[in-house]
């Protein structure tokens, strides 16, 4: 079950519950969405990596997109990350706004930090882009954005050299929504499992509808202060949110091996 599915179910079911004024309908809705209780939380791991400072200020950006002949609209979150060679890439989830539709060309992606208002516009991708995930492998879901101008280093995150967190590690999800001025908020959680294709995190706070958003948000280790993943998917385990992340090691590998770029509006028009 993914985040968008849960939102659609809530949007349809809540008005019906009001009309029916019945507790039974609400109970049925909750049982349809809520999964089994979460597995036991792993014990805290021994982390040999050096301890680092947590990010300060805005590091989670709102993602706004503009299709041809349309206005900007917000679709998710994103962030900026620096590679070992000094290049800065923008990152977000492919399912937020999939490029490559010839009938509706995507012309620009804007990352906007709130409440500071700092913005970075992108009209170029690193090639090839990812695609919305449809299974357990979350590493297929990504977009690597190529900035055409220098970016303010105060907004740039560093990837964790470990490539991802350990089970039981404490982490922070920096979301572009829910905070002061409609901007960044921070949720804490514990890594339930970590592998090459996905990192799953059990959040500390129980389910709230406002938390079912934010694909493309960065996940940061509370120990190293570096990015360990990007939010892609989510489900409920009892009253608790279990969120799935694209491991940062996969994002770094894809960015470091990208050798060409492609204009957003041309993707899907010039490739098979």
- What value does the mean pLDDT take over residues 90-99? 92
Contact 201, 190 (CB under 8 A): yes
- What value does the mean pLDDT take over residues 101-106? 86
Domain locations along the chain = 3-33, 61-157+252-266, 170-248
Contact 244, 229 (CB under 8 A): no
Element (H, E) at 46: none
Closest alpha carbon to 147 in 100, 189, 110: 110
pLDDT of residue 205: 85
Architecture of domain 61-157+252-266: Beta Barrel (2.40)
Is it the case that residue 243 has pLDDT exceeding 90? yes
Q: pLDDT over 90 for what percent of the chain?
A: 65
- Digit-coded pLDDT (tens) for 7-38: 444 444 444 344 334 443 333 334 334 567 88
Query: Two tokens at 94?
Result: 């492919």
CATH match of 170-248 with 2.40.10.10 = yes
User: Alpha-carbon distance 61 to 70, whole Å?
Assistant: 21
- Digit-coded pLDDT (tens) for 125-175: 998 889 999 999 999 999 999 999 999 999 999 999 999 999 999 999 999
Fold agreement between 61-157+252-266 and 170-248: yes
Contact 145, 23 (CB under 8 A): no
Residue 15's Cβ-count burial label (10 Å; 0-12, 13-18, 19+) is: exposed
Q: CB neighbours (10 Å) of residue 36?
A: 8
| Mean pLDDT taken over the chain | 86
Contact 109, 71 (CB under 8 A): no
DSSP 8-class letter at 55: P
Closest alpha carbon to 173 in 213, 209, 122, 145: 213
Closest alpha carbon to 264 in 182, 154, 113, 143: 143
pLDDT of residue 160: 99
Query: Two tokens at 208?
Result: 């709230």
Q: How far, in Å, are 175, 183, 189, 208, 232 from residue 140 at the CA level?
A: 21, 28, 24, 27, 10
- Digit-coded pLDDT (tens) for 200-211: 999 998 877 666
**Strand ranges inside 14-96, DSSP E:** 61-67, 73-82, 88-92
């Amino acid at each position: 079950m993914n985040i968008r599915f849960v939102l659609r179910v809530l949007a349809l079911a809540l008005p019906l519950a009001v009309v029916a004024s019945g507790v039974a309908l609400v109970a049925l809705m909750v049982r349809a969405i809520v999964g089994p209780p979460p597995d036991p939380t792993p014990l805290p791991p021994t982390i040999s990596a050096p301890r680092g400072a947590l990010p300060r200020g805005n590091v989670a950006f709102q993602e706004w997109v503009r299709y041809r002949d349309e206005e900007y609209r917000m679709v998710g979150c994103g962030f900026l990350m620096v590679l070992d060679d000094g290049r800065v890439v923008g990152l977000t989830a492919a399912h937020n706004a999939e490029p490559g539709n010839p009938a509706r060309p995507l012309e620009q992606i804007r990352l906007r930090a709130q409440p500071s208002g700092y913005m970075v516009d992108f009209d170029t991708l690193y090639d090839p882009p990812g695609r919305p995930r449809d299974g357990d492998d979350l590493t297929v879901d990504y977009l690597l954005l190529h900035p055409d101008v220098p970016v303010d280093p105060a907004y740039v995150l560093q990837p964790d050299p470990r490539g991802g967190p350990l089970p039981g590690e404490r982490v922070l999800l920096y979301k572009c929504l829910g905070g002061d001025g409609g901007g960044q908020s921070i949720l804490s959680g514990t890594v339930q499992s970590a592998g090459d294709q996905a990192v799953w995190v059990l959040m500390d706070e129980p389910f709230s509808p406002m938390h079912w958003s934010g694909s493309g948000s960065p996940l940061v280790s509370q120990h190293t202060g570096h990015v360990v993943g990007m939010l892609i998917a989510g489900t409920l385990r009892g009253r608790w949110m279990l969120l799935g992340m694209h491991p940062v090691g996969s994002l770094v590998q894809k960015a470091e091996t990208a050798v060409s770029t492609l204009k957003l509006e041309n993707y899907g028009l010039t490739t098979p």
